[in-house]
Structure 1
Amino acid sequence: MLHRTSVASLLVVTLTFLLPAPARCEEEGARVISYYGYDDCILLENNQARVVLCPAAGGRVLEYSTDGKNALYLPPGNEGWTYEPGKRGGNMTAGRFDVGPEQTIPRHPQLWAGRWDGEIVGPRAARLTSVKDDATGIRLIREFVLDDNSTFLACAQTIENVSDETVEYCHWSRTFAVGGGICVIPLTEPSRFPNHYVMYESSSTMNFRPEDPNIRRRDGFLEILAAPKHPKLGMDTKAGWFAYLMPNDLMFVKRFPVYEDRVYNEVAALTMSIWYPDRPMCELEPIGPREKLEPGDSATFVESWGLLPRAFPKEGDQVDLQAVAGQVQQALKEADRD
């Protein structure tokens, strides 16, 4: 059994790289470089965007940029850090991915921060593969395909059950974008939550009817203007996309599939989450449905990233939410046509 999700034309390209392929050291728009203290990073690039992947620590994305502006939070101080059991220090930043559900999955530091294998598998395309993790019984494969001529990046994560037991997990994206931005999330009806979101007030307490001056519903959108009283938020929107407007005049867009007829196994059955601390980052988190995998089965979830130019509103100005939605939809249509 192999579940495959669809993110329009980019997915068609992405899935061609799910098949076994010989390792390559260089392809059109793809090569190995040294970056941020690591010697085995993989660069994907075109005339619009740069993507730098890090196999050495967590199978993550270190740079996702256009016009020299990195959308990811990658501070100095952790260059070249690698995970070792019991070793203190280090911090996983930038474009992280994970698996959930958050509250019940076993600890899995090797999947989260350990060394992965990296390979170039085609033009502007690379694959990162984790170890077989004893704690969870799974192996993860992440595949990245940068579009030929735009900033759009397809990010596919495959969960493989390499154990001899049935497992149940879900996709969990944990991307650290640069902080100080504004989240724009299209809302859908019905919602299980009276205010269309929940707020985690502690590790074990969730407010299903929160009120916060920095979060408002307006014109069919949830707008997060600044860090709320409690930073972790969850939504059950079925729109399948959201945007994050950044002070560097870029808009980070994530698109992902949502399944109305499937089980979402986070505590509040979330389709996405935002972690919005009063710090120089914001975590953007699409969440996938439950994948019940028999031994040998695998499941793939694809999210598509885009970077669009968007002037950050000046103090006192409101975001034109309809203009944001229109710009996103037009960009997604163009990406689908390419």
Structure 2
Amino acid sequence: MAEEKSRRPAASLLKQQKLPAWQPVLTPRVVIIGFLAVGLLFVPLGIAFLAAANSVKQVEVDYTQCNPATAPNGIQNCTVSVALPEMKAPVYVYYQLTNYYQNHRRYVKSRNDAQLRGDPPKKWSSLEDCLPRIAVNDDSSENNPSEWFLPCGLIAWSRFNDTFELTPSGSSTPLPWVKDGIAWYSDVKEKFRNPPPTAPGRRLDPPVDFVDQDFIVWMRTAGLPSFRKLYRIIPNDIPAGLYTFSIQSRFHVLPFGGTKGLVVSTASWMGGKNTFLGTAYIVVGILCLLIGVAFLAAQTLFPRKLTGDFYTLSE
């Protein structure tokens, strides 16, 4: 009769859970010092973060009512005036959308990364994530690669296509701005390439340039339904004054109850204008200081004598 194999763990300190362990005891002194240290660290950090956020100059303008549905050719031309304070370069221009759920699971996965890297897939099955925007007819185009969309997927098909110019009041010359640098370096260099000219497929109308940084920015989906994406960078200082946005509106937002707008902003060493982090640090720091002082008062007025070792070493 074969001997039954034992399932008992090996007699090592690790497998028998007998390794030495240091177990600190949280004495009142340690707890009080910990709370006070965190408070004294967080409050100055919060003030620094808040000061950096408040140093950012930012102006928002809504142009939702520039509705392309009312234009016969689907392009509504509008102008929006905006008063800008003096801004030091670089100045960033964003477009922002609300109630647009780019984070929806089906929307996020509706793309083909191999295709976006310039390597059109050879198999229909590899494009299934792009449903319902794979081909001219998703039910009958499986064996006809010339009808497969380049690029496929809901993200590419819904790309933002409004265009803008920013002109100082009293001038006919728009401010110079640049597109280079609005997308992530890793995306530009590694994740997007145009397919070969001979690659079979149905180009969208108008055709999509896979390495266009506006397209690359759009393809990086936002995590929240209200978001902004970088449109252009103004490399020069902007003097205070009245400016005009000239808008060619093509992107529809009213059917899903959304809004769209433009943001002109500077940046600090922390990035854009966001006071949440600084406020959170200050609130947590003050709470820690109050708790530390309360524990200190309680320990001073009503001290408790501790017995036994403060720290133990188990073997």
TM-score by length of 2: 0.28
Structure with the larger RCO, 1 or 2 (CA within 8 Å, 6+ apart):
2
Q: Please identify the structure whose Cα radius of gyration is greater.
A: 2
Q: Which has the higher helix share?
A: 2
Q: Which has the higher strand share?
A: 1
